[in-house]
Structure 1
Amino acid sequence: MRAHILQHVAFEGPGSMAVWLAEHAGSVGYTHFHAGDALPDPAEVDLLIAMGGPMSVNDEHELPWLVAEKAFIRAVIARGTPVLGICLGAQLIASALGARVFPNGEREIGWFPVTAEPAPESCFGFPPEIEVFHWHGETFELPAGAVRLARSEACLNQAFQFGERVVGLQFHLETTPETAAEIMRHCADELVPARWVQPAADIEARLPAACADINVLARALLDWLTRP
């Protein structure tokens, strides 16, 4: 299996998913947009993972590579290839499929629960409720034909499925203590006290136990996306 990762900033990599990829992927390619890397041929990708980042999918004027990235995501989806989008990556999938991405009512940063939504049996099944790691200020409308899989009190569209093998997550299942420390270091200015923004000390207090729980779910999701 040829996996490919779309990485937007150096400090938001695959996290715990790197272990699963080492076990299951014959090769793992990267497009580091922050380094000016080129995109591969969509036909050469068997699993696509779009990571997070502090930019907006609407920043096409300042970041013109977003246009090419969305076109690439559309092409990969059209081939029936499994695609996973995380945070910004989920917003990119939504935007690539014609849905609107816009500021959420409140910024959501820290460990907060998401609740599973009723969904057809053909969809990935989330636990009824699980505490996950959030770091976002924007949200998205569901693309036409997509199914909502999870919500939170602060944000309606937390996870969705499009077709049989495309899943977007507004939250992070790949978070490890190391990746959490990196995002807190690079985005510390966003930790402004608010209802859905936890202090750094509260975020750190949930590590590493909460990471272990969500990393298991990340593995299950990758297994499901790449099922025969």
Structure 2
Amino acid sequence: MTLPLSGGPRPVVTVIQSSPDVHLDRFGEWLGDVELRIVAAFAGESVPAADEVGDGLVVLGGHMSAYDDSTAPWLPELRALLADASTRGVPTLGICLGAQLLAAARGGRVQVAAPPGRESGIVDVRWRPEAAGDAVVGAVAALADERYRTPQPSMHADAVVDLPRGAVWLASSAMYPYQAFRIGSAWGVQFHPEAGADTLRAWADGYDDVDTDAVLTAYAARELEVTAGGRVLAESFAAHVRAVASETVSA
């Protein structure tokens, strides 16, 4: 499905959605001046090839694991798409499950039901020196406090435990080390920069081990910071897509 946008030609960004309640949320607005093509893989829509996604690719989260091919039979094609897109220069962003799929696709490892348990609510994402000046996450890292942290929403129990060879480690949290990484032309973030309060409430209500009130209280206490970080990440990714698309046209 294409979301109609008015005006002249825009870079095209394909968005792969694996669960109906894990959607673009606030990224739909924050990505700005791009044409969004939503692929509802959970509803049977076909995962495109890398040369069919347009100028950029976003792979959203989901309630399945990165290896749950029997429950989500499109995952092998999605892993193949991430591997191909990230090696052929397509600007790509994987969020939560999308980041785990990216890691697995490029030779890393994801642990299902990782021992630290579910990371939920608002987490402090601590940026590593490698994030400074990064084309996509650098502007988010620049918002960090004196301890190099920015707050972001989180809701996951699976986690990347080994980065792919050649990946650049960009951020961690107190509970899980790999909160952000870059490999090839792709970025993976374990947190959910797109998620607002209503989305977090719906997710938290779905898990017996999550205190919804605590999640929403933490979100409300840091809403301005959380929103600023998510918006900047979306805007930086969209700007990177436009820059790469412009370079391709002028080449």
The 3 A distance-change label for structure 1 pair 120 and 49 is: closer
Which residue matches 2:207?
Answer: 188
1:3 corresponds to 2:13: yes
Residue of 174, 185, 203 corresponding to 1:153: 174
Aligned pair count?
217
1:225, CA displacement in angstroms?
3.3
Supply the distance in 1 between the matched residues of 2:179 and 2:207 (Cα, whole angstroms).
Answer: 23
Q: CA deviation at 1:121?
A: 5.6
Query: Which residue identity does 2:115 align to in structure 1?
Result: G
Q: How far 1:162 sits from its partner (Å)? A: 1.0
Matched, 1:101 2:110: yes
Q: Is 1:212 the counterpart of 2:212 in the alignment?
A: no
Structure 1 residues 209 and 58: CA distance shift in structure 2, 3 A: same
Assess if the C-alpha contact under 8 Å between 1:177 and 1:211 holds in 2: no
**Aligned to 1:74, which of 80, 83, 90?**
83
Q: Which amino acid aligns with 2:59?
A: A
Counterpart CA distance in 1 for 2:106 and 2:49 is 19
Identical-pair percentage: 29
Please point out which of 224, 236, 241 is paired with 1:221: 236
1:224, distance to aligned residue in structure 2 (A): 5.1
Q: Distance in 2 between matches of 1:181 and 1:159?
A: 24
1:28 aligns with: 36
Q: Deviations over 1:14-58 (max 9, x none)?
A: 11110133x321x21122121011122422321100101111011
Structure 1 unmatched runs, 5+: 192-198
Distance 1:120 1:10, change over 3 A: closer
Q: Structure 2-normalised TM-score?
A: 0.80
SS where residue 13 of structure 1 aligns?
coil
Does residue 174 of the first structure (1) align with residue 194 of the second (2)? yes
**Coordinate RMSD, CA, aligned:** 1.9
C-alpha separation between the residues in 2 aligned to 1:120 and 1:169? 12
Alpha-carbon separation, structure 2, partners of 1:16 and 1:156: 26
* Secondary structure at 2:130 match in 1: coil
In the other structure, the counterpart of 1:196 is: none
Structure 2 residue identity aligned to 1:204: L
Per the alignment, residue 62 of structure 1 pairs with 71
Structure with more of its chain in strand, by fraction: 1
- What's the TM-score once normalised by structure 1's chain length? 0.87
- One-letter amino acid of the structure 2 residue matched with residue 202 of structure 1: A
- AA of the residue aligned to 1:152: S
